[in-house]
């Protein structure tokens, strides 16, 4: 009997330990436009608010570079390529098809190869997504012709772009290519400090020449 | 004083209790140190120190059993033990004023650690140059959010912490015209696209991007430089039946949307958010490294702080060891995205008890100085009192 109060105290402390519980909350938040990548994937979407609108600024990528975030990749057989010897292969992660570190004079650049089903929102949305990643204003649909270079090689139709952001103290550059293959869109993006990407651009273009479509079954 | 109260008093005043608690504390620290290899620092803190009991799940079940007193219990009992000893056992005198100061400092330290444990919030805010945010995000916890995006001016958000997303759990919220049922939950999983190969298990998801993706469960990681990527399959059930099952993961780069009941909805599993009554805009991020290395020399963020009522609209500079303190929060320059030189990552901490450890250290130091001073003076006086012996 002497120990009953002490036991009661311990039991009450035990119960107290169960008091911290996660709770469902609800609140009203300011309107937020989600990142436009990749609207083509949300096949069930009928919400116009979430779709990218040409001419509206692309929201900047969140803290982790969205383009580097693992994303679903396209169906079907993969493209094949031969990477230059100087590029250091990285673990591609869950959803990148390929990933390389491209060393350069002003720090490393990142080369990512991703693929998504469908057209992933179209050329303009994708190019503006890339522009947003280096703080460039979005293009209007009329600017597409001047901003892109179209290239046919190995039976593939590449759309090439070269964007540079010189406003910052450390200018950033993206040299990228998009190519539709078997109902999917493949993205080859070289992004990093301007001097590194500029220096690596010829190698990148040579690299693109090695990209081959899957052999027909 | 009746018997029961006396029993409590004797229990808490006892020096034996102090010894037992100290021994148990040593055991707790030892076990936690060993377990850090398996669980990592965050999980160990939560399991061993920020808990009343160390729980152990019976193998094969989800039934937790308390197997050892946790940090809160030991710290709480030590605090009560020390306070009780001062009330009932210790005699107060000027000669022991130093000890009183040391003990008061110790009590403050225990209280401060408890307050930190239960009240501290640690989030992060990642900003690109030109970007404005009025929320910070957790780097360890996720939440399922269902947003009613119908109104053009705001979103109505229902947020369900990841801890509630256990397989088979169901939720009916007054703001939602459907029930949310968790059909499957993986605390950590990788995503890959379905190849359409024969023999592939059919997806649980029937709507959104989910049917195109395979989620493969992975063991939980406790490494500090890695994080777990949960995946949840949620089914929404309206009065007419199922609206579909969605696969959600923070790895998916965009939320998924659907229309129901004349409203537009958005679904996502994302890092848990804490909204603020003010916004921060990153004006400029500066990052210098030591010449020829990648080691950061200094990095700083020039920010603009604004409140909706216009009372505050000013620029602030946050750099290493110079945080911004505002509205009970501290914003430290924590990191940046190595692949993007225009991005900053601020650590956002709320800790109402942050001053207490400093105060307690000052008190304990002062107490030790006073106590040793008293003894030193006594010793000197004693030596002076000894008469000089004739030569």
- Spell out the domain ranges in chain A: 56-209
Same domain as B376, residue B317: no
pLDDT > 70? residue A15:
no
Range of the domain at B156: 140-274
pLDDT of residue B116: 86
Dihedral (CA of B259, B262, B266, B267) sign: negative
Query: Is residue A79 within 8 Å of residue A211, measured between CB atoms?
Result: yes
Rounded Cα gap, residues B202 and B194, in angstroms: 10
Angle at B205 between CA B203 and CA B206, to 5 degrees: 110
Same domain as B186, residue B270: yes
Provide the pLDDT confidence category of residue A16 given band limits of 50, 70 and 90: low
Same domain as B183, residue B150: yes
Same domain as B128, residue B110: no
Give B-chain residues touching A95 at CB under 8 angstroms. Answer: 191-193, 251
pLDDT > 60? residue A68:
no
The mean-pLDDT minimum among A29-38, A53-62, A112-121, B56-65 falls in: A53-62
Query: Is residue B290 within 8 Å of residue B300, measured between CB atoms?
Result: no
Distances (CA, A) of A150 to A85, B317, B361: 26, 45, 68
C-alpha A158: how far from chain center: 18
| Portion 289-328 of B in contact with A at CB < 8 A | none
Exposed / middle / buried, residue A41 (Cβ in 10 Å: 0-12, 13-18, 19+): buried
Same domain as B108, residue B15: yes
Give the residue ranges of chain B where pLDDT is below 70.
Answer: 1, 193-200, 225, 253, 293-294, 338-340, 387-391
Residue of B nearest to A67 (CA): B253
Tracing tokens 């006396």 back to the chain, one arrives at B6
In a domain, B114, yes or no: yes
CB-CB under 8 Å, B255 with A50: yes
**C-alpha closest to that of A53 among A181, A147, A139:** A139
**Complex confidence, ipTM:** 0.74
Q: Which CATH number is A56-209's, of 1.10.3470, 3.30.519, 3.40.1000, 3.90.1200?
A: 3.40.1000
Q: Which of B49, B253, B266 to mutate to probe the A interface, most A CBs <10 Å?
A: B253
CB-CB under 8 Å, A135 with B130: yes
Same domain as B215, residue B96: no
Print burial letters for A74-89: b (CB count within 10 Å at least 16), e (below 16): bbbebbebebeeebee
Rounded Cα gap, residues B329 and B2, in angstroms: 47
Same domain as B330, residue B255: no
Same domain as B268, residue B164: yes
Same domain as B266, residue B283: no
Q: Nearest-CA distance from A110 to chain B in Å?
A: 7
pLDDT of residue B75: 92
pLDDT of residue B198: 57
In a domain, B391, yes or no: no
- How many domains does chain B fold into? 3
Token code pair at residue B23: 């021994």
Same domain as B345, residue B286: yes
Same domain as B225, residue B297: no
Tens digits of residue pLDDT in B307-327: 988 889 999 999 988 999 998
Same domain as B291, residue B262: no
Give A-chain residues touching B163 at CB under 8 angstroms. Answer: 22
CB-CB under 8 Å, A74 with B129: no
Q: Between A2 and A179, name the one with better pLDDT.
A: A179
pLDDT of residue A51: 29
pLDDT, average across residues A135-152? 85
pLDDT > 60? residue A57:
no
With pLDDT > 70 as the criterion, what percentage of chain A qualifies? Answer: 64
Residue of B nearest to A73 (CA): B193
Token code pair at residue B321: 């060891």
pLDDT of residue B332: 93
| Portion 253-282 of B in contact with A at CB < 8 A | 253-259, 264-266, 275
In a domain, B390, yes or no: no
pLDDT of residue B71: 93
Tens digits of residue pLDDT in A190-204: 999 888 998 888 889
Give A-chain residues touching B159 at CB under 8 angstroms. Answer: 24-27
**C-alpha closest to that of B10 among A188, A61, A5:** A5
Q: Which of B340, B343, B346, B348 to mutate to probe the A interface, most A CBs <10 Å?
A: B340
Provide the pLDDT confidence category of residue A168 given band limits of 50, 70 and 90: low
């Amino acid at each position: 009997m002497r120990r009953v109060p002490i036991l009661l105290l311990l039991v009450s402390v035990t119960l107290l330990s169960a008091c911290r519980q996660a709770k469902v909350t609800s609140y009203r938040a300011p309107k937020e436009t989600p990142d436009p990548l990749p609207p083509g994937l949300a096949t069930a979407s009928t919400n116009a608010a979430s779709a990218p609108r040409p001419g509206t600024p692309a929201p900047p990528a969140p803290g982790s570079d969205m383009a580097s975030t693992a994303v679903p990749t396209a169906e079907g057989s993969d493209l094949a390529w031969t990477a230059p010897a100087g590029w250091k292969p990285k673990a591609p992660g869950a959803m990148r098809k390929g990933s390389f570190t491209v060393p350069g004079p002003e720090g490393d650049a990142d080369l990512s190869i991703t693929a998504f089903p469908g057209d992933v929102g179209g050329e303009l949305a994708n190019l503006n997504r890339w522009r947003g990643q280096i703080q460039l204003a979005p293009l209007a649909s009329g600017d597409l012709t001047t901003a892109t270079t179209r290239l046919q090689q190995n039976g593939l139709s590449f759309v090439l772009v070269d964007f540079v952001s010189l406003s910052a103290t450390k200018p950033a550059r993206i040299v990228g290519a998009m190519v539709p293959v078997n109902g999917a869109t493949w993205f080859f993006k070289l992004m990093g400090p301007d001097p590194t990407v500029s220096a690596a651009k010829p190698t990148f273009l040579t690299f693109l020449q090695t990209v081959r479509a899957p052999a027909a079954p | 004083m009746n018997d029961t109260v006396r029993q409590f008093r004797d229990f808490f005043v006892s020096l034996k209790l102090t010894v037992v608690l100290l021994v148990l504390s040593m055991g707790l620290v030892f076990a936690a140190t060993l377990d850090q290899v398996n669980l990592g620092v965050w999980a160990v803190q939560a399991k061993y120190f920020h808990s009343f009991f160390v729980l152990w799940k019976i193998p094969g079940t989800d039934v937790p059993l308390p197997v050892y007193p946790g940090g809160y219990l030991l710290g709480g009992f030590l605090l009560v033990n020390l306070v009780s000893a001062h009330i009932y056992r210790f005699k107060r005198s000027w000669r022991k004023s130093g000890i009183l100061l040391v003990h008061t400092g110790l009590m403050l330290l225990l209280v401060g650690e408890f307050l930190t444990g239960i009240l501290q919030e640690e989030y992060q805010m990642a900003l690109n140059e030109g970007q404005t945010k009025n929320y910070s995000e957790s780097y360890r916890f996720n939440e399922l959010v269902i947003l009613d995006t119908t109104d053009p001016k705001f979103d109505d958000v229902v947020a369900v912490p990841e801890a509630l997303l256990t397989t088979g759990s169901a939720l009916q919220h007054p703001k939602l015209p459907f029930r949310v049922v968790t059909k499957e939950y993986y605390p950590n999983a990788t995503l890959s696209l379905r190849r359409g190969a024969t023999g592939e298990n059919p997806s649980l998801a029937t709507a959104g991007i989910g049917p195109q993706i395979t989620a493969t469960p992975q063991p939980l990681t406790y490494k500090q430089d890695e994080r777990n990527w949960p995946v949840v399959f949620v089914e929404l059930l309206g009065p007419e039946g199922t609206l579909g099952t969605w696969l959600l993961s923070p790895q998916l780069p965009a939320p998924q949307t659907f229309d129901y009941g004349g409203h537009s909805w958005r679904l996502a599993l994302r890092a848990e958010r804490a909204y603020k009554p003010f916004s921060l805009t990153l004006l400029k991020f500066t990052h210098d490294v030591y010449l020829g290395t990648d080691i950061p020399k200094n990095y700083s963020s020039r920010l603009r702080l604004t409140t909706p009522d216009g009372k505050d609209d000013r620029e602030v500079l946050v750099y290493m060891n110079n945080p911004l303190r505002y509205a009970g929060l501290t914003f430290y320059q924590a990191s940046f995205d190595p692949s993007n030189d225009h991005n900053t990552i601020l650590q956002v901490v709320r800790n109402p008890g942050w001053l207490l450890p400093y105060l307690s250290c000052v008190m304990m130091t002062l107490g030790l100085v006073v106590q040793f001073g008293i003894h030193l003076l006594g010793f000197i006086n004693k030596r002076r009192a000894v008469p000089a012996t004739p030569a």
